[in-house]
């Protein structure tokens, strides 16, 4: 990862490297303590001559003389001042990296109170998936120094930056898993990745198909029946000394989703390597839990399977008994994520945690309703959701609650089994139907279901993510865990 270190004004004055300032459209110059008011005004005038307006993500670079010293300055736009909050600073950091990654080896960045957020943006913007293709040009930028007024301030900023770095590392880890080709991440292969996270306060148990059958994880096994490479249930446990609370994170891990016998159209399969983004998120979080010194006991579950139309694939009309004893009539084998999650949620609830969060690229309906930038949330505990939402706001990862109406419960009632795996009225309330189904498997444990079908993937890239997996809600989850 890019090296980001806090530095003092004295160190900046002794250096010759370019320095970056962040400006909103209305600013009359960079609000940087190392510049005199006269220099700020003159710098703003020169930027204007270069055509710089301060709009979000805009960059410009030129040499500027302040007294006897000439230095190269880089300016990055924040957009309108009223919008120049944490998200704007994070995106400015990403824009800075992308614009100058092949031009400078070292940059100074004056971001004030938003230094750690801007650093987070630098890391998120620097991500590139290179497992199968070399980058067009190797990045030259290796170090960014954050301008601080004093050594004392630099120490505080560095502490915040180091914490942000762990979050970015977790996001990177998650993105890498999502971006792997499906044949390179069989359920067994992802389970091996999970096992590599064991050590210290983290233990990992992997349950294979035979063990899953013995333990009654019939829904997980049913989804994986069409594939030669069988399913896995991964249980990770982080148990620090003195932990007073216990929580669980559950992730859908369909490492490739063809739809099974309810086969998807070819174009709809092209991105289905991302259908394990929920499980990847859980593993990404566990990558850094111990180093973040989270105080709670955390259990993680990754329900892993290929969904393929093999000789023994589960069929529409089959009835499968879940781990909690409830029977499910399968009407559509492409509604498989809720099946593997059902057994994982029951397993999590059996540990009697104080809260369960589950993450799943569950429904295309969530993408239709909320687009690619907002996660759909459903819950049986509004107080728990409020805390998760507060974390999402601090991390600028949008969450929008959808209801779980009692009147809709009949939509998943089967005539021959306890539950249907899709709603009776096709095409209606698909995301809510998924949430209602999952609620049947958590008992009375406080629970939030997070449908990340939209935010977990980007075809064309975003301000903070290259095309592919985004690592959505990793930072939100770490923020929430940090508050326990």
The span from the CA of 249 to the CA of 243, in Å, is 16
Residue 389 domain-assigned (yes or no): yes
Token pair listed for 388 = 């998760």
Contact 250, 357 (CB under 8 A): yes
The whole domain housing 196 covers 180-482
- For residue 258, give the nearest of 270, 248, 250, 249 by alpha carbon: 270
Are 394 and 441 in a shared domain?
yes
The number of distinct structural domains making up the chain is 2
- For residue 32, give the nearest of 42, 481, 104 by alpha carbon: 42
Contact 335, 247 (CB under 8 A): no
The span from the CA of 109 to the CA of 90, in Å, is 13
Residue 357 forms beta bridges with which residues? 249, 448
Residue 173 domain-assigned (yes or no): no
CATH of the domain at 218: 3.40.630.10
pLDDT of residue 452: 98
Are 345 and 434 in a shared domain?
yes
Contact 375, 452 (CB under 8 A): yes
Are 38 and 105 in a shared domain?
yes
Q: Are strands 69-79 and 19-24 parallel, antiparallel or unpaired?
A: parallel
* Whether residue 338 lies in the annotated active site: yes
- For residue 320, give the nearest of 231, 431, 224, 411 by alpha carbon: 224
Q: Which residue has 């993408």 as its token pair?
A: 367
Residue 450 domain-assigned (yes or no): yes
Are 195 and 119 in a shared domain?
no
- The catalytic position among 91, 101, 252, 338 is 338
Angle CA 436–253–412, to nearest 5: 20
Are 211 and 260 in a shared domain?
yes
The span from the CA of 183 to the CA of 315, in Å, is 24
Buried b (16+ CB within 10 A) or exposed e, 443-456: eebbbbbbbbbbbb
Are 158 and 191 in a shared domain?
no
Are 270 and 142 in a shared domain?
no
Are 273 and 132 in a shared domain?
no
Residue ending a domain, choose from 114, 135, 165: 165
Q: Are strands 232-238 and 202-207 parallel, antiparallel or unpaired?
A: antiparallel
Residue ending a domain, choose from 132, 165, 198: 165
Residue 172 domain-assigned (yes or no): no
* pLDDT digit string (tens) for the chain, length 484 residues: 899 999 999 999 999 999 999 999 988 777 777 787 888 888 888 988 999 999 999 999 999 887 778 899 999 999 999 999 999 999 999 999 999 999 999 999 999 999 999 999 999 999 999 999 988 888 999 999 999 999 999 999 999 999 999 999 999 999 999 999 999 999 999 999 999 999 999 999 999 999 999 999 999 999 999 999 999 999 999 999 999 999 999 999 999 999 999 999 999 999 999 999 999 999 999 999 999 999 999 999 999 999 999 999 999 999 999 999 999 999 999 999 999 999 999 999 999 999 999 999 999 999 999 999 999 999 999 999 999 999 999 999 999 999 999 999 999 999 999 999 999 998 899 999 999 999 999 999 999 999 999 999 999 999 999 999 999 999 999 999 999 9
Residue 219 domain-assigned (yes or no): yes
- The catalytic position among 156, 229, 264, 295 is 264
CA Rg, the chain, in Å? 24
* Whether residue 315 lies in the annotated active site: no
Residue 155 domain-assigned (yes or no): yes
pLDDT of residue 38: 81
Are 154 and 241 in a shared domain?
no
Are 131 and 199 in a shared domain?
no
Residue 175 domain-assigned (yes or no): no
Are 268 and 348 in a shared domain?
yes
Contact 263, 282 (CB under 8 A): no
Q: Give the SS3 label for residue 404.
A: coil
CATH of the domain at 67: 3.40.220.10
Residue 170 domain-assigned (yes or no): no
Residue ending a domain, choose from 113, 136, 165: 165
Are 233 and 123 in a shared domain?
no
pLDDT of residue 41: 85
pLDDT of residue 35: 81
């Amino acid at each position: 990862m890019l090296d980001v270190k806090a530095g003092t004004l004295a160190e900046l004055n002794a250096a010759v490297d370019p320095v970056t300032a962040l400006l909103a459209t209305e600013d009359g110059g960079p609000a940087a303590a190392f510049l005199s008011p006269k220099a700020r005004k003159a710098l703003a005038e020169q930027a204007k001559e270069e055509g710089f307006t301060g709009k979000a993500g805009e960059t410009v670079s030129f040499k500027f003389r302040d007294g006897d010293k000439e230095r190269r300055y880089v300016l990055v736009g924040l957009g309108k001042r009223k919008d120049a909050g944490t998200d704007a600073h994070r995106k400015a950091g990403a824009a800075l990296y992308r614009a100058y990654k092949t031009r400078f080896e070292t940059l100074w960045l004056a971001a004030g109170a938003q230094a750690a957020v801007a650093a987070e943006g630098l890391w998120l913007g620097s991500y590139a998936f290179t497992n199968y293709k070399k980058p067009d040009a190797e990045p030259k930028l290796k170090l960014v120094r954050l301008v601080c007024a004093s050594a004392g301030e630099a120490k505080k900023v560095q502490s915040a930056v180091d914490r942000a770095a762990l979050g970015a590392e977790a996001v990177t880890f998650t993105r890498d898993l999502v971006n792997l080709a499906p044949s390179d991440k069989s359920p067994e292969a992802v389970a091996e990745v999970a096992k590599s996270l064991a050590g210290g306060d983290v233990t990992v148990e992997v349950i294979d198909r035979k063990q899953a059958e013995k333990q009654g994880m019939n829904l997980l096994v049913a989804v994986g029946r069409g594939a030669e490479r069988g399913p896995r249930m991964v249980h990770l446990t982080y148990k620090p000394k003195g932990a007073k609370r216990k929580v669980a994170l559950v992730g859908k891990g369909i490492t490739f989703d063809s739809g099974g016998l309810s086969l998807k159209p070819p174009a709809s399969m092209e991105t289905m390597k991302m259908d394990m983004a929920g499980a990847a998120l859980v593993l990404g979080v566990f990558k850094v839990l111990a180093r973040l010194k989270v105080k709670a006991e955390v259990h993680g579950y990754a329900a892993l399977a290929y969904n393929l139309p093999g000789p023994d694939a589960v069929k529409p009309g089959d009835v499968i008994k879940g781990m909690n004893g409830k029977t499910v009539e399968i009407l559509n084998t492409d509604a498989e994520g809720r099946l593997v999650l059902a057994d994982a949620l029951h397993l999590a609830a059996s540990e009697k945690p104080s809260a369960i969060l589950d993450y799943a690229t569950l429904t295309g309906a969530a993408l239709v309703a909320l687009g690619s930038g907002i996660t759909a949330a459903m819950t049986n505990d509004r107080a728990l959701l409020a805390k998760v939402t507060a974390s999402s706001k601090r991390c600028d990862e949008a969450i929008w609650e959808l209801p779980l109406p009692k009147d809709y419960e009949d939509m998943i009632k089967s005539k021959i089994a306890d539950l249907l795996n899709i709603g009776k009225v096709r095409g209606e309330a698909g995301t809510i139907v998924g949430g209602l189904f999952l609620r049947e498997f958590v008992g009375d444990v406080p629970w939030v279901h997070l449908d990340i079908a939209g935010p977990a993937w980007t075809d064309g890239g975003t301000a903070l993510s290259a095309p592919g997996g985004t690592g959505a809600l990793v930072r939100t989850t770490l923020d929430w865990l940090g508050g326990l």
